[in-house]
């Protein structure tokens, strides 16, 4: 994966139209091999404004070619906002007037186009895995990039739990990594117990395409059909001040896994912090999932859309088993 930057392409989808009027400008920016915060800094320097005044909705992959929206508090006719390159491999491709700064988490999702090289899949295996994902979705794990290089953000969490004072971004990275690690554990637990698409007492449902959640009635005759159709998804807790947001047996399962992982101190630390407990669906469905497989060259091209906050790497893990790659005799040195 990502043998070349062009193998991983991401296009952010806002899901709504900008105001087309106002004192701000939203900029569609194409970047190659750069992080979103780094691009925000380049925009600030280019426009002569503070980096805190640059807005964006989501963090995009560094090792990729991506298009995403940024905002700056300048009118659209400002000469500094003309289309073109503003830094190495950073280019403004479109601009739209807007009334306000772009806020985090406001986009609908992202469209992906990926090339995976040196796979060892048979046509039948690939077709079966794709069909299963189209039908049932896949586990909504946080991807490894959430945990930092060599999982260093989990080390930050351990240091914070032991009493080391972390400030600024390091503290935020530690909190995010700890919450994500625990959530991934809850998802893995449900996968192992075949509860990714099933329900138990105390569960809460996430309504697809929204941030709405509600308690479920296990006797509801429409519960399983709505789950199969992707209208609702079982949820797990993103740990915060309130602890588990599930109830009864479902909450007890989360607590039991925390004890099994030996992460009680992590939860105590998160509960003393400022982060509010949240619910996140444990499965996600890809939209418009298509693929082309060149078996002779062991090259797989995937195209699909995901809602904001879900990870393409989690989908890939359901398609290309790492054991397939390790067993393949033609794995290239640059993959």
Cite the active site residues: 61
DSSP state of 106: -
Of 130, 181, 91, which is closest to residue 316 (Cα–Cα)? 130
**Which positions ≥6 away from 102 have C-beta within 8 Å?**
26, 55, 56, 57, 69, 70, 71
Cα dihedral 102, 104, 108, 114, rounded to 10, equals: 110
Of 246, 243, 256, 197, which is closest to residue 223 (Cα–Cα)? 197
Question: How far is the C-alpha of 300 from the C-alpha of 295, rounded, in Å?
Answer: 8
Tokens at 194, concatenated:
């075949």
Of 186, 183, 157, which is closest to residue 257 (Cα–Cα)? 186
Indicate the pairing of strand 213-215 with strand 84-87.
unpaired
**Which positions ≥6 away from 233 have C-beta within 8 Å?**
137, 140, 205, 206, 208, 227, 281, 282, 283, 284
Beta bridge partners of 31: 66, 90
CA triple 12-18-23, angle to 5 deg: 120
Positive or negative, the Cα torsion across 48, 50, 51, 53?
A: negative
């Amino acid at each position: 994966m990502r043998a070349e930057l062009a193998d991983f392409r991401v296009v952010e989808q806002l899901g709504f139209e900008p105001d087309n009027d106002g004192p701000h400008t939203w900029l569609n920016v194409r970047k190659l091999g750069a992080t979103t915060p780094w691009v925000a800094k380049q925009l600030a320097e280019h426009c002569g404004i503070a980096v805190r005044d640059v807005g964006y909705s989501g963090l995009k992959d560094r090792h990729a070619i991506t298009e995403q929206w940024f905002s700056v508090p300048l009118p659209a006719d400002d000469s500094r906002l003309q289309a073109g390159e503003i830094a190495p491999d950073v280019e403004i491709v479109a601009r739209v007037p807007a009334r306000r700064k772009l806020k985090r988490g406001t986009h609908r999702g992202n469209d992906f186009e990926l090339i995976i090289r040196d796979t060892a899949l048979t046509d039948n295996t690939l077709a079966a895995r794709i069909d299963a994902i189209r039908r049932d979705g896949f586990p909504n794990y946080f991807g490894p990039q959430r945990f930092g290089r060599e999982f260093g953000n989990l080390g930050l969490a351990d240091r914070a739990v032991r009493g080391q004072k972390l400030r600024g971004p390091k503290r935020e990275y530690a909190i995010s990594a700890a919450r994500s690690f625990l959530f991934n554990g809850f998802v893995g637990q449900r996968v192992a117990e075949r509860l990714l698409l099933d329900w138990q007492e105390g569960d809460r449902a996430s309504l697809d395409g929204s941030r709405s959640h509600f308690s479920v009635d296990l006797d509801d005759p429409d519960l399983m059909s709505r789950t199969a159709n992707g209208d609702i998804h079982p949820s797990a807790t993103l740990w915060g001040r309130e602890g588990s947001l599930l109830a009864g047996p479902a909450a007890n399962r989360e607590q039991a896994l925390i004890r099994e992982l030996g992460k009680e101190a992590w939860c105590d630390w998160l509960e003393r912090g400022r982060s509010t407990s949240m619910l996140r669906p444990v499965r996600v469905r890809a939209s418009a999932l298509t693929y082309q497989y060149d078996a002779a060259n062991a090259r797989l091209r995937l195209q699909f859309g995901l809602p904001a906050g879900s990870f393409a790497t989690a989908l890939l893990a359901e398609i290309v088993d790492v054991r397939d790659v390790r067993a393949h005799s033609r794995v290239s040195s640059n993959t």
